[in-house]
Amino acid sequence: MKINRKISPDLKVKPNFITKKRLKEDEINFDKLRSYRLDRVKSELKKNNLEACILFDPVNVRYALDTVNMSVYNMHNLTRYCFIPVEGPVILYEYFNCEVFSSHLNLINEIRPAITWDYFSNGDQASVQLKKWINEIEDLSKSFFKSKKVAIDVINGPAVTALNKASIDVVDAKLILEQARVIKSAEELKCMKAAVEVAEIGVARMRNELKAGMTEDELWSILHKTNIEHGGEWIECRILSSGERTNPWMQESSNKIIQSGEIVSFDTDMVGPYGYCADISRAFVVGNKFNDEQKKLYHMAVDQINHNYRLIKPGMSFIEFTEKSWILPDEYYGNRYSVMLHGIGMCDEWPAIRYPTDGGQRNGCFEKNMTITLESYIGKVGGKEGVKLEQQYLVGENGLELMSHHPLEDI
């Protein structure tokens, strides 16, 4: 197989265009950022006795190679992927006629047109295209994973069946990428800080513009606009609700008209600049006058986050944290959030630590330079309203360091 190392200068914006620098851009060493992340992927492959991986998930491709193209589209279409061996050339398989967009990235040794085999792209020729793709993977295996075992993160059933028939075993790359992504470099933390700052600009605008008579969708759109105009990318969910729609939790924004005196709770889930996620939650009251029940819910949410924040230090096991975590009263337990905390990076990441009755992650411990969010939802079963709060943290030398600084409500 012929490998062509593509080397070209960074793509330049035409001189007659005026561009605005993103937050922190001049402070980030992108060569260090990219090399660190790719090295983490290769180290995890070696740790798991694997010679190579094939990545389709746009978030994983972005992490490994810092190349991005139509991320949301490629989350549900197998039309862009990459091949990463421990030893050998890194190959990006790019969407039709888009090869030039990543030609400036020097960690990518070769860019080839993607071979697609899904029905949408190929109709009744899908099986023919799948055979072409299998031939390509077999060719790669002869030189770069002779064990005939490869890690793949996202793939469809026909492709797995065809690979197995070609005597190629498929293992899940999810473990590889989640473990690679868990410890953040100094450059990643700069990216995350920039993303959080953008989210907090949006949250401040939401709070300032919140008024009775606007719809939930109108309020939510403020965060979207802020993210895009500051170089952000997308928002994972659209979880914002008001009044009685805040209990139970997880309802997405709607055309409901927000009323005076109602709680408005939301979760940003925002993939911002450089592909990093800002995941914080806030709860406001329209008119800023909390009634006694709203105050109670809010204080309980703050108490849960503060209690759990004080527990965590490097070296603490997930089991010990679960055993010592804040106890949610019985009348609220049925409406509990899905996790007490989770990792955060380019999106929600490992670990996801659930309430004691829900099982979940048991093995592992907190390590320095992990980044996590602490979650709280407080809403009585059968109650009228609920409060959602979430803070983002870095696991520092002696404990957690706050990354999200938009103030909580002073009630």
Does position 116 have pLDDT exceeding 80, yes or no? yes
**Is the domain of 190 the same as that of 150?**
no
Please indicate, yes or no, if residue 7 is contained in any of the structural domains. no
**Is the domain of 162 the same as that of 252?**
no
Q: Under DSSP, is residue 40 helix (H, G, I), strand (E, B) or coil?
A: helix
Q: How confident is the model at residue 411 (pLDDT cuts 50, 70, 90)?
A: confident
State the total domains in the chain.
2
Q: How confident is the model at residue 14 (pLDDT cuts 50, 70, 90)?
A: very low
Please indicate, yes or no, if residue 51 is contained in any of the structural domains. yes
What integer is the mean pLDDT of 135-141?
98
Does position 153 have pLDDT exceeding 60, yes or no? yes
Q: What is the DSSP string of 68-123?
A: -SSHHHHTSS---EEEEESSS--EEEEPTT-GGGGTT-TT--EEEE-----HHHHG
Please indicate, yes or no, if residue 88 is contained in any of the structural domains. yes
Task: Read off the tokens for 237.
Answer: 């969910």
Task: Read off the tokens for 166.
Answer: 């070609």
CATH code, domain carrying 32? 3.40.350.10
Predicted pLDDT of residue 178: 98
**Is the domain of 216 the same as that of 110?**
no
Please indicate, yes or no, if residue 225 is contained in any of the structural domains. yes
What integer is the mean pLDDT of 157-177?
97
User: Pairing between strand 52-55 and 149-152?
Assistant: parallel
**Is the domain of 337 the same as that of 221?**
yes
Q: What are phi and psi of 274, to 5 degrees?
A: 65, 10
Predicted pLDDT of residue 17: 53
**Is the domain of 270 the same as that of 373?**
yes
> pLDDT digit string (tens) for 342-385?
999 999 999 999 999 998 667 899 999 999 999 999 999 999 99
Task: Read off the tokens for 162.
Answer: 């065809």
Please indicate, yes or no, if residue 8 is contained in any of the structural domains. no
Please give the Cα distance from 162 to 124 (Å, whole number): 17
CA 135 to mean position of chain CA atoms: 33
Q: Radius of gyration of the chain from Cα atoms?
A: 23
Please indicate, yes or no, if residue 9 is contained in any of the structural domains. no
Domain boundary pick from 159, 181, 203: 181
Which amino acid does the sequence have at 411? Answer: I
Does position 12 have pLDDT exceeding 50, yes or no? no
**Is the domain of 301 the same as that of 330?**
yes
The boundaries of the domain holding residue 316 are 186-402
**Is the domain of 162 the same as that of 72?**
yes
Decide if 377 contacts 388 (C-beta within 8 A).
yes
Give the residue from 83, 89, 97, 29 showing the smallest Cα distance to 55.
83
CATH code, domain carrying 232? 3.90.230.10
Decide if 273 contacts 232 (C-beta within 8 A).
yes
What integer is the mean pLDDT of 185-194?
98
**Is the domain of 398 the same as that of 353?**
yes
Domain boundary pick from 181, 204, 235: 181
Q: Under DSSP, is residue 9 helix (H, G, I), strand (E, B) or coil?
A: coil
**Is the domain of 282 the same as that of 338?**
yes
Please indicate, yes or no, if residue 20 is contained in any of the structural domains. no
Task: Read off the tokens for 312.
Answer: 């965590």
**Is the domain of 237 the same as that of 315?**
yes
**Is the domain of 311 the same as that of 198?**
yes
Predicted pLDDT of residue 361: 67
DSSP 8-state secondary structure symbol assigned to residue 365: B
**Is the domain of 261 the same as that of 340?**
yes
Please indicate, yes or no, if residue 411 is contained in any of the structural domains. no
> pLDDT digit string (tens) for 251-302?
999 999 999 999 999 999 999 999 999 999 999 999 999 999 999 999 999 9
Which residues, including other chains, have CB under 8 Å from residue 154's CB and lie 6 or more apart?
56, 57, 78
Domain boundary pick from 148, 181, 214: 181
Task: Read off the tokens for 23.
Answer: 């937050």
